[in-house]
Amino acid sequence: MKYLILIPDGAAGWPVPVLGGKTTLEAAATPNLDRLAREGEFGRVQTVPEGMEPGSDVAGMSLFGNDPARVYTGRAPLEAASMGVPLGDADVALRCNLVSTDGAAAEEPGAVMVDYSAGHITTEEGRRIVEDFRASDVYRERFLPDFELFPGVGYRHLLVWRGGSTDVKLVPPHDILGQPLEAHLPSGPAGPNLLGLMALAHPWLQLHPVNRERRSRGLGAADSFWFWGAGRRPALQPFRKRYGLSGAVISAVDLVNGIGVLLGLERVSVPGATGYVETNYRGKAEHALAALARHDVVFVHIEAPDEAGHSGDAAQKVRALERIDAEFLGPALAGLAHLGPHRVLVAPDHYTPVVRRSHVGEAVPFLIWPGPPGRASGATGFTEAEAAKTGVFVERGHELLSRLLAGR
């Protein structure tokens, strides 16, 4: 039996006025998803345990079969695993976003978070900024040896605090778009350490040639670092040891790849996979089928709907959902037919409503196809409302994978 697991990040959402009161899933043309929901088991799953933040780290751990309430230590350590950055037992990893403020330093009264991604800065631009900063006097004299910065993808980078503290309150930048930063700066006993780094970096970032060039084109400048997602290295049981199956993970996002790496899954890279709406959907399908030829289980994560949700762009989110259906799921289903017996699981990790532009922790729709014999849902489509109508509810998200593998 082959198992394909598709995670369309942030696909679920709320009604959108510009879509006539429909959600983006309701507005999107997704015939493949709709058919699988109609023919298979269809319902809702609670991927975010009560009391935990509705991030892709927590919800993603659930979909990979791990109870985040028991094993979650923070987002950034997962990204460190994907990036090959070693963490000692006393080290703390933090996500470092390149963000756009209104030009003011984050600690200045009245400064506002304009863009959590610095205008979706390219990987080439982001890496150039981070690598140049690592070579600067500011970095060598004021960051090292306690703080090390590592370049990542796009706006997503990593800070490691050697022998650091997690006694700090940090806020994801995508949760405070358009808001004054003063109330959301690093706080708690360890907060001043991180706030000091942000203050040191801001004037340097303002003058970097990449930012000057971006401003000349009317694009957002990466004028500040923003730290969040702090945590220490987690201990996860290897996937093969737990389930007796081999597996692979496909994603353009270090967070998801990091979960896979820590579980011992093969990490499959896809050329042209960007983590944005313009990504290589068909390439992900082709690489997923190739990975299934040598593995039992393949997890495929597609970030595009989440990015559109954070941008508040309903049309882009609809487009991302339609491209997932047509360019990924269509070819994947056709290819699975040649690999023998197979099952498919589709579940977003969390809601990312475009009207809110941040994550929400309510139960998400899921489908398992084919479902148990004689238990087709009959749903009219893969939507939030149709999932709720079935009455099928998986209370503990980390048990959904076992439900798929057990065929019940």
Position 408 pLDDT exceeds 80: no
Give the C-alpha distances (Å, rounded to integers) separating 263 from 8, 52, 95.
20, 22, 21
**Cα atoms found within 13 Å of the Cα of residue 351, Cβ hemisphere only:** 20
Both structure tokens of 407: 């065929």
Pairwise CA distance, residues 125 & 239, whole Å: 36
Position 220 pLDDT exceeds 90: yes
Pairwise CA distance, residues 95 & 80, whole Å: 9
Average pLDDT score, the chain? 96
Q: Which segments of 54-175 does DSSP mark as H helices, in order?
A: 56-63, 68-71, 76-83, 123-134, 137-138
pLDDT score at 116: 95
- Average pLDDT of the segment spanning 266-291: 96
Q: Which residues pair with 99 in a beta bridge?
A: 224
The answer to whether 400 touches 343, Cβ cutoff 8 Å, is no
What pairing do the DSSP bridges indicate for beta strands 297-302 and 2-8? parallel
Cα dihedral angle (251, 254, 257, 261), rounded to 10 degrees?
160
Both structure tokens of 378: 């009959």
Position 60 pLDDT exceeds 90: yes
- Average pLDDT of the segment spanning 65-71: 97
Pairwise CA distance, residues 72 & 160, whole Å: 18
Give the pLDDT band of residue 372 (cuts 50, 70, 90): confident
The answer to whether 158 touches 94, Cβ cutoff 8 Å, is yes
State how far Cα 42 lies from the chain centre: 23
pLDDT score at 108: 87
What pairing do the DSSP bridges indicate for beta strands 247-250 and 297-302? parallel
pLDDT in tens, 193-218: 999 999 999 999 999 999 999 999 99
Look up tokens 């949760």; give the residue.
175
Give the pLDDT band of residue 346 (cuts 50, 70, 90): very high
pTM (2 d.p.): 0.88
pLDDT in tens, 382-405: 999 999 999 999 999 999 999 999
Nearest Cα to 126, choosing from 104, 144, 152? 152
Pairwise CA distance, residues 129 & 89, whole Å: 29
For 253-399, strand residue ranges (E) read: 266-268, 297-302, 342-346, 364-369, 393-394
pLDDT in tens, 2-23: 999 999 999 999 999 999 999 9
The answer to whether 369 touches 344, Cβ cutoff 8 Å, is yes
Position 327 pLDDT exceeds 70: yes
Task: Note the residue count of the chain.
Answer: 408
Give the pLDDT band of residue 99 (cuts 50, 70, 90): very high
- Average pLDDT of the segment spanning 30-47: 98
Q: What percent of the chain has pLDDT over 70?
A: 100
Position 1 pLDDT exceeds 60: yes
Give the C-alpha distances (Å, rounded to integers) separating 301 from 10, 14, 280, 305, 345.
11, 21, 12, 11, 12
Give the C-alpha distances (Å, rounded to integers) separating 63 from 42, 76, 322.
16, 18, 22
- Average pLDDT of the segment spanning 243-247: 97
Both structure tokens of 193: 């350490």
Pairwise CA distance, residues 255 & 320, whole Å: 20
Both structure tokens of 196: 């000091």
Position 146 pLDDT exceeds 60: yes
pLDDT score at 110: 86
Q: Domains plus CATH for the chain?
A: 2-72+236-406 (3.40.720.10), 83-231 (no CATH)
The answer to whether 82 touches 257, Cβ cutoff 8 Å, is yes
Mind giving me the DSSP string for 22-66?
A: B-HHHHS--HHHHHHHHHSEEEEE--S-TTS---HHHHHHHHTT-
**Range from 104-118, 126-140, 224-238 carrying the lowest mean pLDDT:** 104-118
